[in-house]
Structure 1
Amino acid sequence: MSSTAAARIADLLEDVPTASNPPGRLPAPAPATEEPPGADGPVLVVTVVWGDLAQVPADLHVTGHYQSVAPAAAELALDRAISVGPRRTITEHTKLGWLGAQLGEVTYFPCKGGGPVRSAAVVGMGPMGTLTERRAHQMYASLLGEAVALGHVGTMATVLVGSGTGNLTVNQAARALVGGFAGVLAATGPAKPTPTPTLTQPTPAPAPAAAKPTPAQPTSTPTPTQPTSAPVPGLTEVFVVEVDRLRAEQLHLALTRAAAKLPRLRIGPELREESGGRLFAPSAAVYALTALTALARSEESAAHDGDPHGTDPTDREEVLRTVLAGFAPDIRREIREQLAHLAEVERTDLSLTVGRALDDPEGSGSGSGSVPVRMSVQSGVGGLRWAALTGRATVPERLVPVDMDLLRELVERLTEPTVEDASELPDLLSRFVVPPDFQRLVTDDATVLLELDRDTASVPWEFLAGTERAGGEKRDPLAIRTQLSRQLRTPYSRVMAEGLSDGPLRALVIGDPGDPEKGFQLPGARTEALAVATRLKNLGAKVTLFVGAANSTRQPGIDPARRLDVLRVLLCGGNHIVHYCGHSDFDPTGTGRRTGWVFADGLLTAQELALLERPPRIVVANACYTARLGSATGPGTRGAPPGVADQSPWGNPQAALVPSLADEFLRMGVGHYIGAAWRIPDDQGVSFAEEFYTHLFTGGSGEAPPTVGDAVRAARKRLYDQRAVGQRPPDTAPNGQRWSAWAAYQHYGDATDPFVRPAPSDRPGGS
């Protein structure tokens, strides 16, 4: 294509900054000189801004927040703007469960100052997948009512909450905003003429002559001489910010249509341009396609309509021929015809999607390259309640009918399964439990975070496999292809754990602490503890090691694992990592059930660690269920103490063990709990631990530190690749354990959490 043709096509891209069409500031909205007919009461101006939310000056900045969902897109940009240091404020509050995010609930955050963001808040959107247009209407009414009640807020900047990930369309979210705002304005009633309140506005940056006013300067503040209306007390203008240009146009059109008959809610007549606005690949394609359709019009139509870009029909035809030169004649003719039809469609009615992530990989405002797939699976009456949230789409919450008796049997057979069940049943789990549209949301490179309740946490989700082609070649399970972790939906808040900035990195390793006289001795747990301690020392950690009960065979030079001594090291030692190998159990005695690790002198639970000022960052527990503590059942039985089996609807205490342990330790403030859901062959327990710690300490790519989720994935994959090594005859029990050991390890925590270790110490690792 010639440079002349390329330049002319670029000139046809309306308002798109290119080499031949440099960016320019849009004209400011014309200030209103009179009220619309019938405006009897406060009038609020809503201005659509093309820019970055964090760069638009205003008194208050607000984004939406789903329950338990880490900030992304505009919320993440706002989080960065208000945070000091590596710990992001809104993100940390989310991880710790400090944000209720009930529908319409507004939570405020302090700001570091010195920038356009002076005060920040998030408005609750409820659980992901539950935001309908009606609920969004309620949310917007709550938000505006809160902002008006503050009194001192003159300008508020927000985004079109609810539309960023496809939960609502732009038109739906715009109608919800207009309806919610209008309801608040109506509730204020007619106002008497009063002097305009003095507002403390953000100081705008110096602007060149004839430049438009900044969004912090209201463009249509009513004057005291207007007798029929008054501004909303304190609040005069709301900026609805959109980072993508085409979506900003679509938003402005949708708001204008929705508010056309509401005189007390005025939509600014033009888009306002501020810093940070971008044009993402799908929108750029729409602009280019719009320009191309203009070229396809007939000469008569072009002459009749006029040429706003200053090109005559001959030039337009030359450009179009250049564009289509590489196609066969029949195809060129069809393209011309279709482009002519498409020329009748407004560009604001067009949208395109791309097959791969082309936008910001950090999710700062648009992209989804690294945004994890979040799936919520909750138990419900007659089935499971599913919802999903990705960087590209939101799947609304729905109840998926599931025969619970069949699911109970499936969970039972996939908990410590035989080789046959481990090979054949995962595909059934994926097809029977997971809706097809949820299957399509999962890709090989997307991290998967499963939000579960205590019931659905008993399902071995690590066995999930892709179901792209029925009867086709089987793919590796999802937990092998990508990072997969679990998060428990709980009603409590967690404590903030101290970071790893103060070295040296310390680790506590406990092996085989059970009483051998009661049948709790595990030689394999000793082997694992010794191997883990050696690996951690070689990786530079300072290790404290306890092995065996006081009345068991002692390891030379190693202290026995007494519960009091372990508690002392936990409370006073400041350990970042705790690794436990032994038995676990439920204790049904007393006023409530407890879950913990079995020692010769009792059960060590998170309750004993409640006074920890610094909970460990990571807990790894190869802890199999014993079912003998506090019960009359004999050695070797899988019977549970009274009241234990009913902790899970599946009736399998082994399946409920790891979620119960994770629940207690996460409540204490532990960041990650990694546990085995059934018995693991001794050598595979060692193999998992060694691969996990090696990847955790030395993994990562480039300057990016390794994530905990990727270390778990690497360790699972090592066991998955070795599952056929050392197989025993099919009629022996360890055969099935070896084949499925990789799926036994469950990770509770945020898989995307980076592991940043302290600076290495000059001294070698301790003993």
Structure 2
Amino acid sequence: MSAPENGVEDLVEHTLAPGNFPEPPQRRTEPDTAPTSRLTVRVVWGDLTRVGADLHVTGHYQGIAPTAAERALDQKISVGKRQVIAEHNRRGWIDAKLGKVSYFPSYFPCQDGDPVVRSAAVVGMGRMGTFTERRAARLYESLLGELLTLGHVHKAVTVLIGSGAENLQVTRVARALIRGFETALKAAGGPQALNEVLIVEIDRLRAEKLHRALRNNSGDAQRYINVVDEVTDADGGGLKRMSAAVYAVTELARLARSVGPLEGGQGGDPASPGEALRIVLGGITNDILRGDIRRRLSDIADIDPTDIAISTHSSSGSEQAPLPVNVSVLQGEGGLRWAALAERATVPERNVRVDADLLHQLVDRLSDPTVDDARELPDLLSRLVVPIEFQWLVSDEAPVILEVDRSTATVPWEFLADIRQDVCSEQAPLAVRTPIARILRTEYSTADIVDVAEELREGTPPQALVIGDPGDPAKDLSLEKARNEARAVKDALRRNDVSVRALIGAPNSAQRLPDEEPATRIDVLRNIFSGQYNIVHYCGHGTFDESGPSGWLFSDGLLTAQELAQLSRPPRIVVANACYSAKVKPSATGVFKVADEFLRAGVVHYIGAAWQVPDDEAQIFADVLYQELFGGTSTVGDAVQAARRKAYDRSRDLNRRDAGPAEKAVPVDQHRGNAWAAYQHYGDPTDRICGPESH
């Protein structure tokens, strides 16, 4: 069953569905005379979510979790931590084709004097890496063309869609906006009910740049569009570090122009311009250099601040968590197709030609690798397959979200390395230093309506279902290690005030504890379908069949995602250690195969091991994961990273302990110590399962 044709808007109660609006008018030729009224376009310096309007609009890339303005808007209209736009994006319900508009209601009632967001919309920008000025013009034409048909929308507010993260220059997007708006207004014969569009910029300098670009490009479009003369101030406006530097330089330049020579006793008064400039240049003792700096500043004095660009960079010290770097890596003809979207830059699509056999060999070597391969091959992986333009984006300065397809999901991207010439070989792997997560590009088939506002009820502990060792001991499919891990997970969760129901051992197992119940498919499904569990943890055999169903092995059969298709309230997170036995050893594609099926059923996060993990390392990973999820304020990505870090540190300690004389310097188990890389996380690493307010 595919997602509804009308898109996400018809799945949410009270949403402004396109079907509720009149059909857009047929395009017609340009009228002979100008319309009697013009559309007012106003640049506003402020916070998008604090500017009142009938409709708030941002852009949305296909399959990319909301960031920046879209994320802020999502938080404004949603209840709790499970945000509506992010949830619908995850389920594949947002049609992000270029210019396609999807609508969302606000769950908050209007309050007196509070310009709350009444309703929100996202307009499709297509696939990440494909946005150009020509496509931007088409987006703005399509967006305004639809807004003109909404009789109840008189004022709309948006951001400069397409200019974020240095995707396109402000001047180019402004030109595209004017061209797109003009085309739509010509077709409609004027602004109709919509009479004003506000374009909000939170940074003052960008607001001024945008205003100037719109005025300069309005030209003949002034018959239809009136760009207001001045930037309008609103709540929430700020000044980024780069903009502050620009203003500081220009003011210093004007100061240099305004005062006479500094020599000869001028100044003395701390408030005088001469003394202020003397203080600024006082640290420069070389007279020639000081004079040259002053002359250069005088040259800058006549430059408009909007013509100046100053680049600054800081890798630490920010109180606000950095936005994730979204990287798309899909199978292309003869290689890999890459695109990237980060807070600091957007990189259009790049193709990397990679020999398929060579890549397959590299994947095999990095799947359950030896200690030497795990240390030496990640750098080769990154240099061989990652475009040069992308390598500087992959670092520990921000979480990394990799969009993969069925082909690229086989690559152990957790071994991805940041390419830095000055990094010593002893530095911890990238996935140990920053969250690395995956998003699987697939056509999710579920159409179940999820109550995105459902959260942990106040005063109610989180709920977890732990399933361990469900294989039939009579068929030699019982696993002591899986049973031990399930009990360790049960104890770890309870230590963090999580209510646990433990289904451990097959019905014919004689090794259950008093607080444990038999693990059968019926009992597992009954508990999962109750909708009360935030977490499901599975320890046991897993089967991974390329041509058939994959899932978890029970004494009474195989549990696959097919049985979970009717879930209306699926678990928030599934953790699976399902590869303990060589008898049922998974292929390299096993994790994403099962993850795909569970994500299809509506699970928000799937964490699985790509190869066999020793039981002691699996227990350490689970213990740290749940401590971080429920014992603090960690995001899921931070919790996975912390668990990887603990597993990595322990493996290094063990390897050092094993090292002795030269002839015994190599650990006995060549594959030990790579559990940190075996765990693959599918989901949004910035999501939170729990927080202090939930306890």
Q: TM-score range by the shorter chain?
A: 0.7 to 0.9
Residue 721 of structure 1 is matched in structure 2 by: 649
Partners of 2:324 and 2:255 in 1: CA distance:
41
Matched, 1:618 2:573: yes
Partners of 2:531 and 2:570 within 8 A in 1: no
| 1:82 equivalent in alignment to 2:77 | yes
**Change in 2 beyond 3 A, CA 1:178/1:676:** same
Residues 712-751 of structure 1: pairs in structure 2 closer than 5 A = 712-724=640-652, 726=654, 735-751=669-685
User: SS in structure 2 opposite 1:57?
Assistant: coil
Work out whether 1:292 is the aligned partner of 2:252.
Answer: yes
Given that 2:531 and 2:569 are in contact with CA atoms closer than 8 Å, whether structure 1 keeps it comes out as no
Describe the shift of the 1:85–1:471 C-alpha distance in structure 2 as closer, same or farther (beyond 3 A).
closer
The one-letter amino acid of 1:507's match is: A
Alignment-derived partner of residue 139 in structure 1: 139
Aligned-pair CA distance for 1:679: 0.6
Q: State how 1:378-457 maps to structure 2 within 5 Å.
A: 378-457=330-409
Match of residue 711 from structure 1: 639
Give distance in 1, aligned partners of 2:694 and 2:568: 23
Give the alignment of 1:179-258 within 5 angstroms: 179-188=179-188, 231-258=190-217
1:342 and 2:294 matched: no
User: In 2, Cα distance between the equivalents of 1:75 and 1:521?
Assistant: 48
Please give the residue correspondences for 1:55-74 in structure 2 after superposition, counting only pairs within 5 Å: 55-74=50-69
CA offset digits 1:106-150 (Å, max 9, x no partner)? 112223323434333221112222211111110000011011122
Partner of 2:608: 675
Q: Which amino acid aligns with 1:619?
A: V
For 1:218-272, what per-residue CA distance to the aligned partner results, in whole angstroms no more than 9, with x for missing partners?
A: xxxxxxxxxxxxx422222322222211111111111111112333233222222
How many Å separate the matches in 2 of 1:143 and 1:360? Answer: 35
- The 3-state SS of whatever aligns with 1:673 is strand
The CA distance in 2 between the partners of 1:556 and 1:89, in whole Å, is: 41
Q: Which residue of structure 2 aligns with residue 279 of structure 1?
A: 239
1:263 correspondence with 2:253:
no
Amino acid across the alignment from 2:400 = V
The alignment partner of 1:612 has SS state of coil
| 2:456–2:694 CA contact under 8 A, matched in 1 | no
Q: For residues 151 and 165 of structure 1, do their structure 2 counterparts lie closer, same or farther at Cα, with a shift above 3 Å needed?
A: same
Q: Counterparts of 2:339 and 2:680 in 1: how far apart (Å)?
A: 21
TM-score normalised over the length of structure 1: 0.77
In the TM superposition, residue 333 of structure 1 has moved relative to its aligned partner by 1.6
Instruction: State how far apart, in whole Å, the 1-side matches of 2:532 and 2:131 are.
Output: 43
Name stretches of at least 5 consecutive residues in structure 1 with no aligned partner.
1-36, 190-230, 302-313, 363-368, 627-634, 639-652, 762-767
Q: Cα–Cα, structure 1 residues 733 and 570, in superposed 2: closer, same or farther, change >3 Å?
A: farther
CA distance in 2, matches of 1:162, 1:263: 23
2:467 aligned with 1:510: yes
Give 2:592's aligned residue.
659
Cα 1:284/1:357, change in 2 over 3 Å: farther
Correspondence for 1:309: none
1:351 offset after TM fit, Å? Answer: 1.7
* CA distance 1:341–1:473, change in 2 (3 Å): farther
State the Cα distance separating 1:658 from its structure 2 match. Answer: 0.7
Q: What code does the residue aligned with 2:120 have?
A: A
Paired residues in the alignment total: 637
CA-to-partner distance for each residue in 1:541-592, whole Å, 9 max, x for gaps?
Answer: 332223333445533544433222333333347222222111111357xxx7
Between the aligned partners of 2:630 and 2:79, the Cα distance in structure 1 is 26
User: Do the aligned partners of 1:500 and 1:757 also contact (CA within 8 Å) in 2?
Assistant: no
Instruction: Report the counterpart of residue 197 of structure 1 in structure 2.
Output: none
Decide which moves more: 611-620 or 167-176.
Answer: 611-620
Given that residues 315 and 397 in structure 2 are in contact (C-alpha distance below 8 angstroms), is that contact kept between their aligned partners in structure 1? no
CA contact 2:65–2:684 (8 Å) conserved in 1: no
Specify the SS of the correspondent of 1:379.
Answer: strand
Alpha-carbon distance, 1:472 to partner? 4.4
- State the secondary structure of the residue aligned to 1:263: helix
Residue 456 of structure 2 is matched in structure 1 by 500
**Preserved contact between residue 509 and residue 529 of structure 1 (Cα < 8 Å):** yes
Residue 55 of structure 2 contacts residue 156 of structure 2 at CA under 8 Å; is this kept in 1?
Answer: yes
Measure, in 2, the Cα distance between the counterparts of 1:283 and 1:636: 61
Instruction: Report the 3-state secondary structure (helix = DSSP H, G, I; strand = E; otherwise coil) of the residue aligned with 1:165.
Output: helix
* Equivalent runs, 1:244-643 vs 2, <5 Å: 244-264=203-223, 265-297=225-257, 316-328=273-285, 329-356=287-314, 369-469=321-421, 472-492=424-444, 495=448, 496=450, 498-501=454-457, 503-557=460-514, 558-572=516-530, 574-586=532-544, 593-624=548-579, 636=583
**Contact between 1:680 and 1:737, CA under 8 Å: does it hold in 2?**
no
- SS of the residue aligned with 2:193? coil
1:738 counterpart SS class: coil
SS in 1 for 2:552: strand
Q: 2:45 aligns with which of 43, 50, 65?
A: 50
Q: Does 1:91 align with 2:86?
A: yes
Shift of 1:518: 4.0
Tell which deviates more after alignment, 672-681 or 571-580.
571-580
CA distance in 2 between partners of 1:347 and 1:493 (Å): 51
1:153-183 C-alpha deviation (Å, 9 max, x unpaired): 3332222111122111001101110111111
Percent identity (aligned): 53
Aligned partner of residue 527 in structure 1, secondary structure: helix
Contact 1:449 1:485 in 2 (8 A): yes
Shift of 1:41: 6.9
| Alignment CA distance shift 1:154-1:361 (3 Å) | farther
Bigger shift: residues 547-556 or 595-604: 547-556
In 2: Cα distance, 1:561 partner to 1:637 partner? 19
Write the deviation string for residues 29-61 of structure 1: whole angstroms up to 9, x where unpaired: xxxxxxxx9746763232222222233333332
Query: What do residues 80-115 of structure 1 show as CA deviations (whole Å, max 9, x unaligned)?
Result: 443455544333333343322221011122233234
**What displacement does 1:662 show?**
1.0
Q: Whole-Å Cα distance in 2 between the matches of residues 527 and 299 of structure 1?
A: 79
Match of 2:689 in 1: 755
Can you list the C-alpha shifts for 1:628-659, whole angstroms capped at 9, x where unaligned? Answer: xxxxxxx8586xxxxxxxxxxxxxx6211111
Aligned partner of 1:177 in structure 2 is 177
Aligned to 1:166: 166
Equivalence for 1:26: none
In the alignment, residue 626 of structure 2 is paired with which amino acid? Y
Matched, 1:689 2:622: yes
Hey, what's the Cα distance between the residues in 1 that align with 2:132 and 2:167? 8
Tell me how far apart the structure 2 counterparts of residues 181 and 359 of structure 1 sit (CA, whole Å). Answer: 41
* 1:268–1:571 distance in 2 versus 1, CA, 3 Å: closer
